[in-house]
Amino acid sequence: MKLDMLRGQLDALILAVLEQGPLHGYAIITTLKSRSGGSLDLPTGTVYPALRRLERAGYVSSDWSTVAGRKRRTYELTAAGHKALAGERATWKAFSGVVGGVLGSD
């Protein structure tokens, strides 16, 4: 899938993945890939800036931990992030309904 097609949707996808619980960055990337059937194989250079943007917006929080001698940052959805995700889902439902109505189905 082209990265251009994700424009405007990446934040919602990350929030949806974090809804299941805290994850470190690489786990977010692998979960996106898994849940999309391999279609979303995103580079770290796409996901990590989005995580920082979501943290600045107050939608996720992060904490450092050490696992097997390696430091990693774990991200978690905040209350504001849960609200933002609900809004993104409503927007997506309305948008996909409109586009589906115009394009029709096979």
**How many domains, in total, are found in the chain?**
1
Asked, for residue 102, whether it belongs to a domain, the answer is no
Q: Tens digits of per-residue pLDDT, 5-25? A: 677 799 999 999 999 999 999
pLDDT attached to residue 79: 98
DSSP-derived 3-state class of residue 63 = strand
Q: Tens digits of per-residue pLDDT, 33-62? A: 999 999 899 888 999 999 999 999 999 999
Domain enclosing residue 58, as ranges: 3-90
DSSP-derived 3-state class of residue 23 = strand
Residues linked to residue 65 through DSSP beta bridges, in sequence order: 72
* pTM: predicted TM-score of the whole model, two decimal places: 0.87
Which CATH number is 55's domain given?
1.10.10.10
CA atoms of 81 and 36, how far apart (whole Å):
21
